[in-house]
A and B are shown apart, each in its own frame.
Chain A
Amino acid sequence: MSELELELRALAVDWPETPDLASGIESRLAHSAPAASRRHRLLARPAWQLAVALVALVLAIVAAVPPARSAVLDLFGISSVEVVREEPQPSRFASGLGLGDAVTLSDARRRAGFDVVVPSAVGEPDAVYLFDSVEGGRRVDFVYRPRDGLPEASSTGAGLLVTQFEAVAEPVIQKTIGAAATLERLTVGGDPAFFISGEDHGFAYIPTRGGGAFEPQRLAGNTLLVDRSDGILLRIEGDIPRDEAVRIAESAEP
């Protein structure tokens, strides 16, 4: 290499500051066509669904072998939440909210197997449900009746639905979001969070220690998902604006 080449290589250029293109792109893509080229779009959709089905199948197989499970979840890059854009399929939403048994709050605290958090901003729930299948993961649902500040949500009929999962045991959640729904990335109390709004979107969940079966999907309204550092995945759903959902999530404490 010549001296000039060495000099050029040693040059530190004072480049103009790189603009944050990624954020701009993200908002532009929300209004544009999916990644597959027009020619391939019809093919791409079934292929993607096939991939989801294959992942579910592999998860179902390895779920029976606990040591293999976390390795495989890791292989797929899934440890707690996965958000996938896909049109919800209304025919699958007929199964209601899929809540577990009605219990008291203290029952739920005792049996959940994790520190149940209560959002003090909305107080104690009107009803508590515990989903506790023998081989599956545990889930606690709080239902709040519609009241001032918590209008009745068309997706649940409740004022607010607060769900907590045992994320330590690596539950896999898949949210299916239609193209018309918007997804915002947030930080709530220092933890990564997502706010999904704009249009009803699907919601499905694979129990942690379950046979890998998806729970029935249903349509969900405005939803805030918080991947809490204490291992709990907090989900807040209601016909409320983003900032209100964030305020409620931030008030959640054991």
Chain B
Amino acid sequence: MVVGRPLTETELVERARGGDGLAYAALVRDHQEIAFRIAYVICGSAADAEEAAQEAFVKAYGALGRFRTGEPLRPWLLAIVANEARNRRRSAGRRAALTLRAAGEERPSGEAAPSPEAALLAGERREALLAGLSRLSERDRTVIACRYLLELSEAETAATLGVRRGTVKSRLSRALDRLREEVGERV
């Protein structure tokens, strides 16, 4: 479709429901990055994450008839992705160990550039945090990744993980305690 302005998500969903594959592809494009990253955190390997996310998007297309118009699409999609990723992880014979690396630059904080020593220490700290996160159970690292690395809201995290918001709070608090233990901090 060639249109004069970008369609809203609701319009794209309506079109996709009518069988418009292009409209659905546009929705996938909007959400594929976060979907892939959640699948990556759960599966632990990029190849499995790609297959899980792909399969989840195809399933979501088939299930669009059950999506309630007006609700936000992202948590609905992410719940399907997370479910697919967990199924894939369960059925995979070997479990890939998740490796999360820190990007070279810290997110801009508006502060002055740190000294080389401080930057080195900060870099080590970042790698230690991510290595600790990688060693956590899938359940613990997923809730942390959703809330802090992917910056989903509490409500979105709850929808993605298929639990209540209260459960997100308690699960997150326990996961943070375990991460502190992993990186050698006193709880």
| Chain B residues whose CB sits within 8 angstroms of the CB of A194 once the complex forms | 2
Assess A183 versus B22: contact at CB under 8 Å? Given A16-B40, A35-B17: yes
Asked if A243 is at the interface (CB within 8 A of a chain B CB), the reply is no
Tell me the complex Cα distance, A82–B32, Å: 25
* Proximity bits, B125-151, A CB within 8 Å = 1, else 0: 110011000000000000010001101
Assess A185 versus B22: contact at CB under 8 Å? Given A21-B53, A21-B54: yes
Tell me the complex Cα distance, A106–B130, Å: 71
Asked if B152 is at the interface (CB within 8 A of a chain A CB), the reply is no
Query: Is B58 a contact of A25 with CB atoms below 8 Å?
Result: yes
Query: Is A25 a contact of B25 with CB atoms below 8 Å?
Result: yes
| Chain B residues whose CB sits within 8 angstroms of the CB of A83 once the complex forms | 1-2, 20, 22
Give the interface segment out of B62-70, B87-95, B112-120, B157-165.
B62-70
Tell me the complex Cα distance, A51–B125, Å: 57
Query: Is A19 a contact of B50 with CB atoms below 8 Å?
Result: yes
In this complex, the member of B19, B50, B62 whose beta carbon has the largest number of chain A beta carbons within 10 angstroms is: B19
| Chain A residues whose CB sits within 8 angstroms of the CB of B62 once the complex forms | 32-33, 35, 37
Assess A80 versus B2: contact at CB under 8 Å? Given A11-B149, A18-B37, A44-B65: yes
| Chain B residues whose CB sits within 8 angstroms of the CB of A15 once the complex forms | 37, 40
Across the interface, B64 reaches (CB within 8 A) one of A23, A35, A51, A86, namely A35
Asked if A79 is at the interface (CB within 8 A of a chain B CB), the reply is yes
Query: Is B130 a contact of A22 with CB atoms below 8 Å?
Result: no
Query: Is A22 a contact of B29 with CB atoms below 8 Å?
Result: yes
Give the interface segment out of A1-9, A116-124, A128-136, A143-151.
A1-9
* Proximity bits, B1-32, A CB within 8 Å = 1, else 0: 11111010001000011111110111011001
Query: Is B125 a contact of A84 with CB atoms below 8 Å?
Result: no
Tell me the complex Cα distance, A183–B2, Å: 13
| Chain B residues whose CB sits within 8 angstroms of the CB of A25 once the complex forms | 21, 24-25, 28, 54, 57-58, 61
Query: Is B149 a contact of A8 with CB atoms below 8 Å?
Result: yes
Across the interface, B148 reaches (CB within 8 A) one of A5, A20, A26, A34, namely A5
Asked if B179 is at the interface (CB within 8 A of a chain A CB), the reply is yes
Q: How large is the interface on A (under 10, 10 to 19, 20 to 34, 35 or more residues)?
A: 35 or more
Which residue on B lies nearest to A192, using beta carbons? B2
Tell me the complex Cα distance, A135–B103, Å: 61
Tell me the complex Cα distance, A25–B144, Å: 29
* Proximity bits, B31-50, A CB within 8 Å = 1, else 0: 01101110010000010011
> What is the distance, in angstroms, from B40's C-beta to the closest C-beta of chain A?
6
Across the interface, A14 reaches (CB within 8 A) one of B11, B17, B102, B106, namely B102
| Chain B residues whose CB sits within 8 angstroms of the CB of A14 once the complex forms | 100-104
> What is the distance, in angstroms, from A133's C-beta to the closest C-beta of chain B?
24
Asked if B71 is at the interface (CB within 8 A of a chain A CB), the reply is no
Closest 10 CB pairs of A and B: A79-B4, A37-B65, A34-B19, A8-B148, A12-B103, A16-B46, A22-B29, A22-B28, A29-B21, A14-B101
Task: Please name 9 pairs of A and B residues whose Cβ atoms are closer than 8 Å in the assembled complex, sorted by A.
Answer: A7-B125, A11-B149, A12-B105, A25-B24, A25-B61, A29-B24, A29-B58, A37-B64, A79-B2
- Which residues on B are within 8 Å of A, measured CB to CB? 1-5, 7, 11, 16-22, 24-26, 28-29, 32-33, 35-37, 40, 46, 49-50, 53-54, 57-58, 61-66, 100-107, 109, 125-126, 129-130, 144, 148-149, 151, 176, 179-180, 185
